[in-house]
Amino acid sequence: MRIKNDQFLRACRREPTDYTPIWLMRQAGRYMAEYRAVRERYSFLEMVKTPDVAAEITLQPVQAYPLDAAIIFADILPPLEGMGIDLTFEQGEGPVIHNPLRTPADVAALVVPEPRETTAFTLEAIQLVQRELAGRIPLIGFSGAPFTLASYAIEGGSGKDYRITKRMMLGTPDVWHSLMQKLTELVISYCHAQVEAGVNAVQLFDSWAGNLSPFDYREYVLPYVNQCVAAVRELGVPVIYFGTEMSGMASLLRQTGADVLGVDWRIDLDEAWAQLGPGVAVQGNLDPAVLFAPWGEIERRVDDILARAAGRDGHIFNLGHGILTETPVDHVARLVEYVQMASRVA
């Protein structure tokens, strides 16, 4: 299907664009009244696993703002259920894994599922969204990257210092590598299924990889990211790799092979780009908290990021992480329109 507004995809390929394209992580979420109205009727997992509801939520922000891409409403953890992981989302706690991986036997018992069966709900939602978009803008699919999935599965939910994860990684490396290979196969298969269902790009979220030293990232994580990126790129869609607090690993990020590297707000965009080097697109990097500031301050920060991008091909404007709850909706709307206007090529 031909994409009418392909600014985002062109930026992923580092081709000239008419303006800097923009989409926002967690652009469908609790800051929108439309989302909250749906959330009153369903639990979080019910929303993810009900295709027409997931499709409705995916479309809410792109119907409200002139965004340059949609991202499917899903979560990185449900694919783990097919491996034998018992997952719930608890009020006030977030994701809870009730049978965390702690022993070699736990890892050995994991199976690599067929995502077309175990995550069919997300694949159907992708098809529903693409039918509604009708080629208006691209749709982004996503997966957790192997390390972040491993961290959740080992810690039993969100961790603090990830000591249990690192204990397995450093203390029983054979078990660690077995787990990471299984998760890599899961991620590749899941991303392939999403591309078959119709997504136009894939983002790998490695939310917790910034907790690692460069040595450990290089030794225990990068080879598996390489496998994932290479396998998805073979399908002809761009791959975005995003992690937080990874500005000290620029040379390693460059080695992932991703078409686009996401940058958080802890480093200036021009400095990040200089470290990443040529031949890669960059996504980012407004601090989500800035959206609570008066509009004049938001505008000033956007101007700074655009100035640091300096009109280079391959910049995709985004936040340095997801939109925060209670972010003013008007500020999101003005942000999208201002980025597109201020960056438009004369």
% of the chain exceeding 70 in pLDDT: 99
Mean pLDDT within 288-298 = 98
% of the chain exceeding 90 in pLDDT: 94
| The predicted structure's pLDDT at residue 157 | 86
Instruction: Write out the catalytic residue numbers.
Output: 26, 30, 39, 75, 152
Mean pLDDT value across the chain: 96
DSSP H/E element including 283:
strand 281-283
The pLDDT tens digits for 52-83 are 999 999 999 999 999 999 999 999 999 999 99
Distance CA 243, CA 148 (A): 9
**Helix, strand or coil for residue 263?**
coil
Nearest to 69 by CA among 278, 334, 318, 247: 318
Q: What phi and psi, each to the nearest 5 degrees, are found at residue 308?
A: -70, -30
| The predicted structure's pLDDT at residue 143 | 98
Q: Which residues of 251-274 are buried (b: 16+ CB within 10 A; e: fewer)?
A: ebbbbbbbbbbbbbbebebbebbe
* In the predicted structure, residue 40 carries a pLDDT above the cut 70: yes
* In the predicted structure, residue 270 carries a pLDDT above the cut 70: yes
DSSP alpha helix (H) spans, 265-328: 269-276, 295-309
* Contact predicate 239/204, CB 8 Å: yes
* Contact predicate 69/61, CB 8 Å: no
Distance CA 146, CA 178 (A): 12
| The predicted structure's pLDDT at residue 346 | 58
Nearest to 234 by CA among 197, 196, 281: 196
The pLDDT tens digits for 87-122 are 998 876 689 999 999 999 999 999 999 999 999 999
Mean pLDDT within 309-325 = 96
Tokens at 129, concatenated: 């969204």
| The predicted structure's pLDDT at residue 160 | 77
The pLDDT tens digits for 157-211 are 887 789 999 999 999 999 999 999 999 999 999 999 999 999 999 999 999 999 9
Nearest to 272 by CA among 221, 215, 310: 310
CA-based angle 55:58:63, to the nearest 5?
A: 110
| The predicted structure's pLDDT at residue 282 | 98
| The predicted structure's pLDDT at residue 1 | 75
The pLDDT tens digits for 218-246 are 999 999 999 999 999 999 999 999 999 99
**283 bridge partner residues:** 262, 316
Pairing type for strands 315-316 and 281-283 reads parallel
Distance CA 287, CA 265 (A): 5
For 71, 78, 135, 334, the CA distances from 5, given in Å and listed in that order, are 15, 31, 8, 20
Distance CA 335, CA 341 (A): 10
Residue ranges of domains in the chain, CATH in brackets: 7-342 (3.20.20.210)
- For residue 285, say if its preceding peptide bond is cis, omega within 30 degrees of 0: yes
* Contact predicate 323/287, CB 8 Å: no
Which position has the token pair 């995502």? 115
* In the predicted structure, residue 29 carries a pLDDT above the cut 70: yes
* Contact predicate 197/142, CB 8 Å: no
Q: Hey, which bits of 215-271 come out as E strands?
A: 239-242, 260-262
Structure pTM? 0.97
Mean pLDDT within 259-278 = 95
| The predicted structure's pLDDT at residue 345 | 80
Nearest to 56 by CA among 116, 107, 124: 124
| The predicted structure's pLDDT at residue 304 | 98
**DSSP tally for the chain: helices H, then strands E:** 17, 9
Burial (Cβ within 10 Å: 0-12, 13-18, ≥19) of residue 225: buried
**87 bridge partner residues:** 97
* In the predicted structure, residue 272 carries a pLDDT above the cut 90: yes
* Contact predicate 260/280, CB 8 Å: yes
Burial (Cβ within 10 Å: 0-12, 13-18, ≥19) of residue 334: middle
